[in-house]
Chains A and B, each alone.
Chain A
Amino acid sequence: MNKRTYKDYASARAAKSDTPKNCLFAFLVGGGICAFAEAIKAGYLALGTEKETAAILVPCTLILLTAILTGLDLFDGIAKHAGAGTLVPITGFANAVVSPAMDSRKEGLVPGLGVRIFSVAGPVILYGTLASVLYGTVYCLCGAGGAI
């Protein structure tokens, strides 16, 4: 068997992830997180918080809860089953920032934590910012929305 045929052979025989099951879990957990977020929002509104402030407090709460669950060694156990269900909402981003920070805290606040904290989430921040700059430029050039 040569290199070319071996690679095809190995990937063809490799056990595959259970996609329907993963999709179902992602849908249920992701949907559950969104429903939970709505409940938090309703809670803040019931406490008399302004609508705009409540909209900011909801992701902050989810980030805080994820950070706590990550610190307690619980988040990865949930994410293992939830997959995209915990990755896609802001919970995935929070975990991606907290986990490398935890990993490198013994290597110092600057060379360890400071350098490594965005080692997973960095690309999201970089390309997210670039995409928004691009979008803003197009938006501006088209003169849409009467921005200029």
Chain B
Amino acid sequence: MKREILSFPNAPGILAAASVVGKHESEGPLGALFDLHDSTDRFGKETWEQSESEMQRISFNLALTKANLREEELNCIFAGDLMNQCTASAYGLLDFDLPYFGLYGACSTAAEGLILASSMISTGLYDKASVTASSHNCTAERQFRSPIEYGGQRTPTSQWTVTGAATFLLSAGGGDAYLTQALPGRAVDYGITDLSNMGAAMAPAAIDTLTRFFRESGMTPSRFDLILTGDLGFEGYSIVLELMKKEGYDLSENYTDCGLLIYDRTVQDVHAGGSGCGCSAVVIASYLTDLFRKGEIRDVLFLGTGALMSPLTVRQGLSIPGIAHLVRITKERMF
């Protein structure tokens, strides 16, 4: 069998992680765990696009402060967002005089960045690198759906794009947790064309990556303290739970989704839950790193999930491919 799982020698550690969110997220169940929020969602900027860039800039600076590092001690930036040509990242991190890789993995960008940065660090090419990902509800609404003030009704399966940015600083020297293994996702298209049901569009990709990981590694779901998908929301989460069981993997004990953790669906009117690059990024940077720091978890599978369509492909009637990048995060180094 072809080996697809990447096991990082000298696994990089998460030296620091910082999260910046909007009002809606700060009012959610994880609100107290985020480093900073702006109750206007504007972050002092005139346009929503600039606001998203500013969130990235703030999260990057916060992460540096937390790690007590200077900018020049980093080797490289990996960053991405949902806006056309990844401009939130390019403009937001323009101030920092560092080599920059702009990434587009739709909402899986945080996981994609973590895998690429880990590869560079574990092979010794870099010593320290940063990963930043963001989304803003208003920039995403404008680009993918309808004008912000447009009065329409959303379907129960639709999700709410998270306003948030997170930066992770990875170091060869170690940290609170280690990026031990990864399994890059494959684009999987199961024919979903409904832009309001992204959970269903991305779920097959998550199932594909998870089953490949369990099959190749020989490990079972019960081995992990937590299995966390990025932004499948309630719809995609339920599909993964049900179809994984049919594949012979019971996830009912330890599986959840960042899109379900970040909001309280019963009171926050987010329908199926959160979505966007920022969704998994801020949950991993706050909730998950906090659990690792407290020693409450030791071995976690995180799957960054993304839907790889654009408004143009949807208008042309093409179905929505999904992707899911898996990262195994552990309390200790394993290889």
* A residues less than 8 Å from B151 (CB atoms): 70, 75-76, 78-80, 82, 86-87, 92, 95, 99
Q: Please determine whether A99 and B153 come into contact, CB atoms closer than 8 angstroms.
A: no
Task: Give the distance in Å from the alpha carbon of A101 to the alpha carbon of B155 in the complex.
Answer: 25
Task: Give the distance in Å from the alpha carbon of A100 to the alpha carbon of B146 in the complex.
Answer: 8
Q: Please determine whether B238 and A3 come into contact, CB atoms closer than 8 angstroms.
A: no
Known: A14-B197, A16-B156, A106-B46. A75 touches B239 (CB 8 A): no
Known: A14-B197, A15-B156, A16-B156. A7 touches B147 (CB 8 A): no
The smallest beta-carbon distance between A147 and chain B, in angstroms, is 39
Task: Give the distance in Å from the alpha carbon of A6 to the alpha carbon of B193 in the complex.
Answer: 12
Task: Give the distance in Å from the alpha carbon of A16 to the alpha carbon of B272 in the complex.
Answer: 12
Question: Is B200 part of the contact surface with A, judged by Cβ < 8 Å?
Answer: yes
* B residues less than 8 Å from A83 (CB atoms): 153
Closest chain B residue to A75, Cβ basis = B151
Closest chain A residue to B154, Cβ basis = A80
The smallest beta-carbon distance between A107 and chain B, in angstroms, is 9
Question: Is A1 part of the contact surface with B, judged by Cβ < 8 Å?
Answer: yes
Q: Please determine whether A7 and B190 come into contact, CB atoms closer than 8 angstroms.
A: yes
Q: Please determine whether B150 and A17 come into contact, CB atoms closer than 8 angstroms.
A: no
Question: Is B334 part of the contact surface with A, judged by Cβ < 8 Å?
Answer: no
Q: Please determine whether A14 and B190 come into contact, CB atoms closer than 8 angstroms.
A: no
Q: Please determine whether B149 and A75 come into contact, CB atoms closer than 8 angstroms.
A: yes
Task: Give the distance in Å from the alpha carbon of A143 to the alpha carbon of B140 in the complex.
Answer: 52
Count of B interface residues, CB-CB < 8 Å: 30
Known: A1-B243, A3-B191, A120-B146. A17 touches B204 (CB 8 A): no
Task: Give the distance in Å from the alpha carbon of A100 to the alpha carbon of B143 in the complex.
Answer: 12
* Contact for A106 among B47, B155, B189, B204, CB less than 8 A: B47
Task: Give the distance in Å from the alpha carbon of A56 to the alpha carbon of B197 in the complex.
Answer: 42
* A residues less than 8 Å from B293 (CB atoms): none
Question: Is B157 part of the contact surface with A, judged by Cβ < 8 Å?
Answer: yes
* B residues less than 8 Å from A82 (CB atoms): 151
The smallest beta-carbon distance between B298 and chain A, in angstroms, is 34
The smallest beta-carbon distance between A78 and chain B, in angstroms, is 7
Known: A6-B190, A10-B192. A102 touches B149 (CB 8 A): yes
Question: Is A73 part of the contact surface with B, judged by Cβ < 8 Å?
Answer: yes
Question: Is A98 part of the contact surface with B, judged by Cβ < 8 Å?
Answer: yes
Q: Please determine whether B238 and A13 come into contact, CB atoms closer than 8 angstroms.
A: yes
Residues of B at under 8 Å CB distance from A? 46-47, 142, 146-157, 189-192, 194, 197, 200, 203-204, 234-235, 238-239, 243, 272
Contacts A15-B234, A120-B150 aside, 15 further interface pairs with beta carbons under 8 A come to A1-B243, A10-B192, A10-B197, A10-B200, A14-B197, A15-B155, A17-B153, A17-B156, A76-B148, A76-B150, A76-B151, A99-B147, A99-B151, A102-B149, A103-B147
Q: Which 10 A-B pairs have the closest CB atoms?
A: A79-B151, A15-B156, A99-B147, A10-B200, A99-B149, A99-B150, A103-B147, A6-B190, A76-B151, A100-B147
Cβ contacts A to B, 8 pairs, < 8 Å: A4-B191, A10-B200, A13-B238, A14-B235, A15-B155, A75-B151, A78-B151, A95-B149
